[in-house]
Amino acid sequence: MASRAGPAAGRGMNTRFAQFKLVLLGESAVGKSSIVLRFVKDQFDSYRESTIGAAFLTQTISLDENTTVKFEIWDTAGQERYKSLAPMYYRNANCAVVVYDITQSASLDKAKAWVKELQRQANENIIIALAGNKLDLVNEQPDKRAVPTAEAEAYANEAGLLFFETSAKTAENVQELFTAIAKKLPLDQVGPRHTRPGQRPGGVSLGPAEGRDTQAGGACSC
Amino acid sequence: MEEISPKYDVIVLGTGLTECILSGVLSVKGKKVLHIDRNDHYGGEAASVNIEALFKTYGNYTKGEEPWKKYGRANDWNIDLVPKLLMSSGQLTNILVSTDVTRYLEFKQVAGSFVQQGTGPKATVAKVPSDAGEALKSPLMGIFEKRRMKSFIEWVGTFDLKDPSTHKGLDMSRNTMKEVYDKFGLEAGTRDFIGHAMALYLDDSYVDTPGKAPDAIERIRLYGNSVARYGKSPYIYPLYGLGELPQGFARLSAIYGGTYMLNTSVDEVLHEGSKAVGIKATMGGADSPEKIQFETKADMILGDPSYFPGKVKVVGHVLKAICILKHPLAGTNDSDSCQLIIPQSQVGRKNDIYIACVSSAHNVCPKGYYIAIVSTIAETTSNHHLELQPGLDRLGKIEEQFMGAPIPLYEPIDDGRADNIFISKSYDATSHFETTTDDVKDIYYRATGEELKVEGLRDVQVAEQ
């Protein structure tokens, strides 16, 4: 099955490269984008406005010498605010990070609702991680904690989710979160379910530069 | 719940494709957009729905039964409500590329484009020839006609409106397409498939209209260029159905700051004098526990006809039958997808009958199924199923057929400049989106006073990143 494991699969004898779509969910202002910004650019901005301006971000993780996982990370672009996420958002998502704020107990309830929504809308074998963010606030002032670790962890275990408490601000557990997801992805069975345009047989790539590249793949059936 | 801003640059009502493209483009250009739909899903009239929703929309089943259950998982179905395909080299493709909305979508070719000649049991179905080489092989024409067609197609390729030496001695501002056809000595049947299956005119009014020849030639070229781009047919189609298109542009809009509210009804359009200045609306549908009422202002309001019933007129009716099949269309070489055009003259009508067929190859239904939509413009006031019959006859055994009342086509009465309300047109009977993108450009011009140049949009985006 190695031939299906992504575009760069043939580079070395034992190297594996696979790309996966990851979607973010959670209430507004729990730090979804901040976690991604930390993971992708190793940056943090306290006064970051609501999400604007990126179709999706990508970041790769090397699990070992031979295995590279590339995440294509989709942000909600604010469409979760008034419950207006499109089915397109969930379509072909391989994994999801559902974020809540450990200083706001209501945000865990929202997270649980998003998990339900994922189970309804996304692939049935999607890998979901629950992330309790803003750990830095609690480390500074323990009385700010509104969601006990044990409570969230118990829920995550029961629902079959990966679970981490994270801080996008200090980077605590952010890399660990994505690495854990990468390890759980089905690298051996298939490559990316969300292949880029043109990689699918008969698919066409509309971009002006790469437009002609797929001709061979698309026009061979006659 | 985050607060709704007291003022936007633009409020857009309805999430059909026209509205979503406009919303996306305006957001990229820096406008603050609030985009509302009364439904709980994107797409409005241009949505793709699952098979359970389709049964419920048409209501063609006995209460208490659940006929959709025999068609597998409802969510494996994405059935278009508007039967259209994208021209590979058309305007919508340009807009998709220049806005990078292609990042969210995957396209596949439509496997073939066919035309019917004759009627009844003697009818034949053949591929529409797209270039001179195909013309020579086409069963649609006799040996001498093939050569005439070949020279016509070659001439279309070299035609230059600005260069009279390529005009064959005709005056392009005055002569008709009939005179062009006469010049090449083309037979009636050939004119039929050129005009209807290549230029994609819905009726024959283009033939005798003076000065219409350049438009016809341009359309034939668009057809040829679109076929040349990927091969098999001039059309491409998004995986998971056309409903992905509005969603893609809505995401573009959201990424550039557009605010989205589904399930939100407009209670009142607020006016100051003759100008619309805002809306009162309620978020939360009939079954939602919390409703939020709000009021907000905007410089202008865009929307589809359903939001402004008093400001639109009916310009025609489309007839449409959505059919579920378990086999490809006969005569199409088992194509997994195709367009089949039955020119009006072949079946004694004034308007063509279109069949658009897609299948599991485009992830719109489970394996083994085909979705064929037969459509035409209504010419009578009753017995509409008879008008579609020549198209339905081409489908063979139909597992399930969904056909409602004739669908009214709306257009705005006014251009919107007087009241700041800019209304789109309904999705018409053409088989592609060229008229939709014309409408987008027209609304953009009416609303902003500027021409919409899609080519520069990518640069705007790159500059901001």
Residue A216 has pLDDT above 70, yes or no: no
Q: Measuring CA to CA, how many Å separate B82 from each of A169, A213, B196?
A: 48, 31, 19
Q: Is B260 on the interface with A (CB under 8 A)?
A: yes
B251–A77 CB contact, under 8 Å: yes
B251–A207 CB contact, under 8 Å: no
Q: Which residues of A touch B248 (CB under 8 A)?
A: 88
Q: What is the pLDDT along chain B (465 residues), one digit of tens a residue?
A: 457 899 999 999 999 999 999 999 999 999 999 999 999 999 999 999 999 999 999 998 998 999 999 999 998 999 999 999 999 999 999 999 999 999 899 999 999 999 999 888 888 899 998 888 888 889 999 999 999 999 999 999 999 999 999 999 999 999 999 999 999 999 999 999 999 999 999 899 999 999 999 999 999 999 999 999 988 899 999 999 999 999 999 999 999 999 999 999 999 999 999 999 999 999 987 667 788 999 999 999 999 999 999 999 999 999 999 999 999 999 999 999 999 999 999 899 999 999 999 999 999 999 999 999 999 999 998 888 899 999 999 999 999 999 999 999 999 999 999 999 999 999 998 999 999 999 999 999 999 999 998 877 766 665 554
A56, A88, A222: residue with CB nearest B244: A88
B259–A197 CB contact, under 8 Å: no
SS3 call for B6? coil
Burial class (CB within 10 angstroms; exposed 0-12, middle 13-18, buried 19+) of B446: middle
Where is B18: in which H helix or E strand? helix B17-28
Radius of gyration of chain B (CA): 23
Rounded (to 5) percent helix, strand, coil in chain B: 35, 25, 40
B251–A208 CB contact, under 8 Å: no
CB contact at 8 A, B183 and B150: no
B100–A203 CB contact, under 8 Å: no
At residue A56, the pLDDT reads: 82
A87–B247 CB contact, under 8 Å: yes
B251–A88 CB contact, under 8 Å: yes
| B372: phi then psi, degrees, rounded to nearest 5 | -115, 130
Among chain A, residues having any CB pair with chain B shorter than 8 Å are 28, 51-56, 77-79, 81-84, 86-89, 91, 195, 197, 200, 202-208, 211, 215, 218-219, 222
Q: Which residues of A touch B256 (CB under 8 A)?
A: 52-53
Q: Is B464 on the interface with A (CB under 8 A)?
A: yes
Cβ pairs A/B, distance under 8 A = 98
Q: Hey, what are B323's tokens?
A: 């059919």
Closest CA–CA distance from residue A203 to any residue of chain B (Å): 4
Q: Which residues of B touch A24 (CB under 8 A)?
A: none
Nearest CA in chain B to A221: B232
What predicted TM-score, i.e. pTM, was given to this entire model? 0.91
| A102: phi then psi, degrees, rounded to nearest 5 | -70, -5
| CA–CA dist A30, A132 (Å, integer) | 9
A206–B102 CB contact, under 8 Å: yes
Q: Which residues of B touch A208 (CB under 8 A)?
A: 97
Closest CA–CA distance from residue B382 to any residue of chain A (Å): 38
A204–B104 CB contact, under 8 Å: no
> DSSP states of B216-247 as a string?
HHHHHHHHHHHHHHHSS-SEEEETT-TTHHHH
SS3 call for A204? strand
First to last CA, chain A: 27
